[in-house]
Amino acid sequence: MARPAPATHHELLTAAARRFAVTGYKGTSLQDIAREVGCSKATVLYHFASKDALLCELMAPAITMLEELDARIATHTGAQAQRVAADGFVDLAVRFRREIALLRGEFPDLLQQPAFAHIQEISEHLIAAFSGFSDRPEARVAALVVLAGIAETCGEFLDIPDDQLRTALRAVAYRALEVST
Amino acid sequence: MARPAPATHHELLTAAARRFAVTGYKGTSLQDIAREVGCSKATVLYHFASKDALLCELMAPAITMLEELDARIATHTGAQAQRVAADGFVDLAVRFRREIALLRGEFPDLLQQPAFAHIQEISEHLIAAFSGFSDRPEARVAALVVLAGIAETCGEFLDIPDDQLRTALRAVAYRALEVST
DNA sequence: GGTAGATCTGACCGATCGGTCAGACGCTGA
DNA sequence: TCAGCGTCTGACCGATCGGTCAGATCTACC
């Protein structure tokens, strides 16, 4: 035994991502993850302080990219912000297919986590930008349909190459949000 | 104690629907449901054979409507089928906001349930109709974005009246799917 | 070769899960 | 009045959950 620690650490992360995407966070036990890697449950808890900590480390890159997108949107206004938000979120969703699907699937519960506290807020910014900063209910409904639809779709279409999925998602988002081109 | 049974039965169903929508199926214990109604966990299992049976009874009306929609779509072709599918699914999603949200949220796991076995198949029919029976990946991506987006949105916009939500959803679906009018 | 520290594990813990069961309680008709 | 039935409950069950811990095993350095 006693492989180099970084290798095991990384294996555990990817195995957890795989399992979480299929059976959800609550539906995946530490035993499941350990079994997939071929180590004991105690090893999982040697590498990660807790199941929550494992989730946080797993989501960190996606959350960082989400925060960067949020900051980028804030530097634009009107239709330009709408386009930046749509393009940016499509890029993010395609890049982090599994993580986004997981986040969306168990949204209400996982948001309690302190590390995810401000995701709700960023989602509001995204919806505002998507809707073209309109208060009309129809615009806000359309924004949420696009946001949730993209997130969910990425998690399921694992057989389509990245750039093709990106192009298709951008097209449908532009139509749904009536982005001026 | 000893209230009339139908009242308790109905109370348990609505309480379960509420909890499932918030914390998910796996994330909600029979104890949670019992506490919300103010009875014991044993009472829940007196009214329902198992937690799964409770879920099935809860979803039954929505599934019936989904099957009816599936049958109705089959009697149309082309653009007409697309419109029937979009209108019908919007109606269904608005009527059964909570149930649809739950179904989408824990999709992969709950589909194992025998009672839900053919939902996967009906989903395929819906996506085919949404995409105008096209094989183009872009059309299928758009179809899934709309399907998932509508389902998710209904679960969250509980503060908008039914007909306003229905109108808004239909509009965004038509745009995203390029339904000919 | 021996020691220190990193890596890993089996055994165990309390809590909670879905589910079972014997029996208590209240209503109703004979 | 009392027997019967529908309704409900507390106590309990085995399984599994996330997490702890002492110690086995391996690696690197002196």
Those residues with Cβ within 8 angstroms of residue A23's Cβ, 6 or more apart along the chain or in another chain: A32, B108, B109
Helix (H) or strand (E) holding B61: helix B51-74
Q: Which strand C nucleotides have any atom less than 7 A from protein CB atoms?
A: 6-11, 16-22, 25-27
Q: A145 and B147: CB-CB below 8 Å?
A: no
- Which nucleotide has the shortest C1'-to-CA distance from A26? D17
Give the tokens for residue B45: 């299992």
How confident is the model at residue B3, as a pLDDT? 59
Tell me the per-residue pLDDT of A25-41, one tens digit each, with 9 for 90 and over.
Answer: 888 999 999 999 999 99
**pLDDT level of residue B106 (50, 70, 90 thresholds):** low
Rounded CA-CA distance A120/A116 in Å is 8
Q: Using the CB atom, is residue A114 less than 7 Å from strand C? A: no
Chain A interface disruption, residue of B26, B144, B159, B178, most A CBs within 10 A: B144
**pLDDT level of residue A1 (50, 70, 90 thresholds):** very low
Lowest mean pLDDT among A12-16, A51-55, A96-100, B27-31: A96-100
Rounded CA-CA distance B161/B164 in Å is 6
Check pLDDT > 90 for residue A104. no
Tell me the per-residue pLDDT of B148-168, one tens digit each, with 9 for 90 and over.
Answer: 999 989 877 767 899 999 999
How confident is the model at residue A21, as a pLDDT? 85
**CA angle B6–B8–B10, rounded 5-degree value:** 65
A43-CA/C6-C1' distance, Å:
13
How confident is the model at residue A80, as a pLDDT? 95
Task: Please state, for a pLDDT cut of 90, what percent of chain A lies above it.
Answer: 70
| Domain B5-48, CATH | 1.10.10.60
Q: Using the CB atom, is residue B134 less than 7 Å from strand D? A: no
Report the gap between the CA of A47 and the closest CA in chain B (Å). 26
Rounded CA-CA distance B44/A33 in Å is 33
Parse chain B into domains and list their residue ranges.
Answer: 5-48, 59-177
**pLDDT level of residue B5 (50, 70, 90 thresholds):** low
**pLDDT level of residue B36 (50, 70, 90 thresholds):** very high
Nearest by CB to residue A175, choosing from B152, B153, B178, is: B178
Q: At what angle do helices B97-105 and B5-23 cross, to 10 degrees?
A: 50
B65-CA/C19-C1' distance, Å:
32
- Beta carbons of A111 and B22 less than 8 angstroms apart: no
Check pLDDT > 50 for residue B1. no
- Beta carbons of B59 and B99 less than 8 angstroms apart: yes
User: In Å, how far are A109, A115, A161, B5, B11 from B27, measured between CA atoms?
Assistant: 9, 20, 34, 27, 20
How confident is the model at residue A116, as a pLDDT? 81
- Beta carbons of B57 and B13 less than 8 angstroms apart: yes
Check pLDDT > 50 for residue A88. yes
Q: Using the CB atom, is residue A7 less than 7 Å from strand D? A: no
Average pLDDT of chain B is: 90
Check pLDDT > 70 for residue B66. yes
Q: Using the CB atom, is residue B35 less than 7 Å from strand C? A: no
How confident is the model at residue B102, as a pLDDT? 78
Average pLDDT score over residue span A31-52:
95
Tell me the per-residue pLDDT of A139-175, one tens digit each, with 9 for 90 and over.
Answer: 999 999 999 999 989 877 767 899 999 999 999 999 9
